[in-house]
Amino acid sequence: MRAFIFPGQGSQSVGMGKALADASVHAREVFQEVDDALGQSLSRLMAEGPADELTLTENAQPAIMANAIATLRVLEREGGLRLAEKCDYVAGHSLGEYTALCAAGALDLATTARLLRTRGLAMQEAVPVGEGAMAALLGCDLELARVIAGAAVDAILAEGGAELICTVANDNDLSQVVISGHRAAIERAVPLAKELGAKRAVLLPVSAPFHCPLMQPAAEVMENALLGADLRAPFVSVFCNVDAAAIASPGMIRVALVQQVTGMVRWRESVLAMTAAGVTEFVEFGGKVLGPMVKRIAPDVTVTGVVSMDDIEALSRTL
């Protein structure tokens, strides 16, 4: 069995998609449709930068989606393949879940782009700049990450400070967990992490504390946006981040996407659930970020990253 997977924020880079667009009219069609949906030349920003503008959440999220969908579209159109016939499940990391839903026909491309623009803006505006932060805990599993997060909050309370939020945002794999919350709590957690057994902790260069309760205003925005979106049953089931379970009902997908804004990305559990369901092959479109995580979680599976035309042609020969 095979799963197609799609990366999340952080996988953007200036130049993304340019070589693919130069080589394929089908990729250019994807980028043009996204540009038209957003009313801006996002494809030019992707190709030429500047990097700081591309990294803005409102731009990075639709850009990463467009790049991944373009890669898939080229495979389907030039390879004469259909996703529904070549994979059994789809999944994506955070915003990648929207890409997965688009790939599986639950959302059309223009709607996906607009939803991700709305999501990016809402997440950016949910918390004033400087009040939130995120940190990656390396050499750390979920259980230890929760201990570290709790210790940071307790330390601040013991000093007479207010109770702040510090919680697990992404359970990526067995050795990489991301925490999110108030900046003061995250900054307290960083030195505590090594004391409590993590290999190291690194503050992430993000503009907001994603996937934590501070994102509740953004969740409310997305609830309204998704109510008005044309969401259909996907061709194949999607493993959602918040439950690490396969769902196909439009109603359940809407609920999961709203919960995802404030909830933990259960990527490790999702990969384990997919392998338990029989998946032995993972194909990542538009990046090579999730593949190493998948291999650390499930060493026996096959992982393929698809970014370039050479990657697409190689995959087409094996499918």
Task: Give the Cα separation of 70 and 72 in Å (integer).
Answer: 5
Q: Tell me how many domains the chain contains.
A: 2
Residues identified as active-site: 94, 211
Q: Say whether both 173 and 285 belong to one domain.
A: no
What token pair was written down for 265?
A: 């990305």
What token pair was written down for 71?
A: 């890669």
Task: Give the Cα separation of 228 and 98 in Å (integer).
Answer: 15
What token pair was written down for 60?
A: 């990075």
Q: Say whether both 168 and 226 belong to one domain.
A: no
Q: Say whether both 118 and 192 belong to one domain.
A: no
Q: Say whether both 225 and 185 belong to one domain.
A: no
3-class state of residue 2 by DSSP: strand
Which of the listed residues 184, 203, 222 is the one where a domain comes to its end?
A: 203
Q: Say whether both 173 and 303 belong to one domain.
A: no
Task: Give the Cα separation of 316 and 17 in Å (integer).
Answer: 19
Q: What is the DSSP letter of 241?
A: T
* Contact (CB, 8 A) for 172 and 162: no
Q: Give tens-digit pLDDT for 226-279.
A: 998 999 999 999 999 999 999 999 999 999 999 999 999 999 999 999 999 999
Q: Say whether both 281 and 310 belong to one domain.
A: yes
Please list the residues that pair with 167 across neighbouring strands. Answer: 180
Q: Say whether both 197 and 221 belong to one domain.
A: no
Peptide bond into 128 cis (omega under 30): no
Per-residue pLDDT of the chain (319 residues; tens, 9 = 90+): 999 999 998 778 888 999 999 999 999 999 999 999 999 999 999 999 899 889 888 999 999 999 999 999 999 998 888 888 889 999 999 999 999 999 999 999 999 999 999 999 999 999 998 899 999 999 999 999 999 999 999 999 999 888 999 999 999 999 999 999 999 999 999 999 999 999 999 999 887 899 999 999 999 999 999 998 999 999 999 999 999 999 999 999 999 999 999 999 999 999 999 999 999 999 999 999 999 999 999 999 999 999 999 999 999 888 8
Q: Say whether both 82 and 159 belong to one domain.
A: no
Phi, psi of 196 (to 5 degrees): -95, 0
Task: Give the Cα separation of 300 and 290 in Å (integer).
Answer: 15
Please list the residues that pair with 2 across neighbouring strands. Answer: 281
3-class state of residue 14 by DSSP: coil
Please report, for the domain that includes residue 105, its CATH number: 3.40.366.10
Which of the listed residues 203, 226, 256 is the one where a domain comes to its end?
A: 203
Q: Say whether both 181 and 113 belong to one domain.
A: no
Instruction: Specify the amino acid at residue 318.
Output: T
Domain extent for 56 = 2-126+213-318
Half-sphere exposure of 9 toward its Cβ, with a 13 Å CA cutoff?
Answer: 26
Closest CA to 186 of 255, 247, 137: 137
Instruction: Specify the amino acid at residue 13.
Output: S
Sign of the Cα torsion 294, 296, 302, 307 reads positive
In a domain, 208, yes or no: no
Please report, for the domain that includes residue 173, its CATH number: 3.30.70.250
Interstrand relation of 237-239 and 166-173 (parallel, antiparallel or unpaired): unpaired
Beta strands across the sheet bearing 166-173? 166-173, 176-182, 132-138, 200-203
